[in-house]
Amino acid sequence: MKLMQEDATPGALRLVRILVFATWFIRVAFKPLYKVSYIPDSLYDPVGLLALVPHALQPLLRNAAFLHGLKAAALLSFVLVIAGLWLRWSMLAACILMTLFASIWRGFAGHIDHESILILFAGYLLTLFEFADRRAEARGEHVAPGGPTRAGIPLTTILAVLLWVYMTVAVFRLVHGAPGVFTTNSLTFWALRNAYETAQPVIGMGKLVVQYPILGRMLDAGFPVITLIELTSLLALVSKEYRWIFLAVMVPFHILSLFVLDVFFWENMVLYVLFFPLARRALAEPRPATA
């Protein structure tokens, strides 16, 4: 039994690396990080390791000049990774700067935003495997014949983490919310809440659930189906057929979420490229010489 991306080539790994760090670039480029300097100290709640920074130094992290410099340095590191320059060290710098950026940006909320998590994990894993591969090459180690390729290991790992996160979301929902989350029109509530209470709704079509109640019923009826697919998502790692079922359900769900719930995890969907066969080892290996 072969896992998806197990036979991936270096070209496939390079493609995914470009997509991940290009996503980081887009996320950072369009965030006005300097505005964090406007937030009063009383409203700021440091995230993660930033909470360990002494209170007296916290204002320095929200200085406008520092924030402009952080953004510029982060964008430069992403460009270097995408271009493949000084790869290990530019990837390491990108991970540090992106983590610092995301932590400061979400300091007013006390947690990193959900849509950042998986794409952050993907970048971290690519960086760790890049260092591991260089170390293995330096020691003369080789991948076992017939096993996953050196590029296939990180790509399969990222796909497994993507599916594992979907599964844990479903488990959390069932443990903490069932059965009420499925019987109390919860998606209808969130559609209305996000349409009316969000300062700048992306689309704002959640209001239509009042005008067209059938839309709300469709949302509520589909919620258990979404949860079931999430709960069993790891099957997509080993089953080609289930992979298509997963995509057939989750892609429309994410698009519908954009229009009705004003929530769009497009960063997750960038990683959906891993559901499709990229360059394979069999295509890259030279043919044996013939007599």
279-289: per-residue pLDDT in tens?
A: 665 444 444 44
Compare 259 and 226 and report the one with higher pLDDT: 226
* CB distance 80 to 23 below 8 Å: no
- Would 228 be classed as within a structural domain? yes
Average pLDDT, the chain: 86
Task: Look up tokens 């497009």; give the residue.
Answer: 266
161 in any annotated domain: yes
Residue 54 CA to residue 34 CA, distance in Å, equals 21
Sign of the torsion angle spanned by Cα atoms 176, 179, 185, 191 = positive
In this structure, is residue 5 part of a structural domain? no
Is there a domain that residue 286 lies in? no
2 falls within a domain: no
Alpha helix (H) residue ranges in 147-212 = 152-177, 180-183, 186-197, 208-211
Tell me the mean pLDDT in the region 102-116. 78
pLDDT at residue 87 above 90?
yes
**Strand-pair partners of 280:** 8
Q: Which domain holds residue 125?
A: 10-281
The torsion region of residue 146 among left (phi > 0), alpha (psi -120 to 50) and beta comes to left
| pLDDT digits 0-9 by tens, 64-73 | 999 999 999 9
pLDDT band at 161 (very low <50, low <70, confident <90, very high): very high
**Is residue 123's pLDDT more than 90?**
yes
* Interval 128-144 mean pLDDT: 87
> What SS3 class is residue 279?
coil
- Write the single-letter amino acid at 268: N
Domains of the chain: total: 1
Number of Cβ within 10 Å of residue 222's Cβ equals 15
Structural contact between residues 79 and 25, judged by C-beta atoms closer than 8 angstroms: yes
Decide if 287 is inside a domain.
no
- 290 occurs within a structural domain: no
% of the chain exceeding 70 in pLDDT: 92
For residue 25, pLDDT beyond 90:
yes
Q: Does some domain include residue 4?
A: no
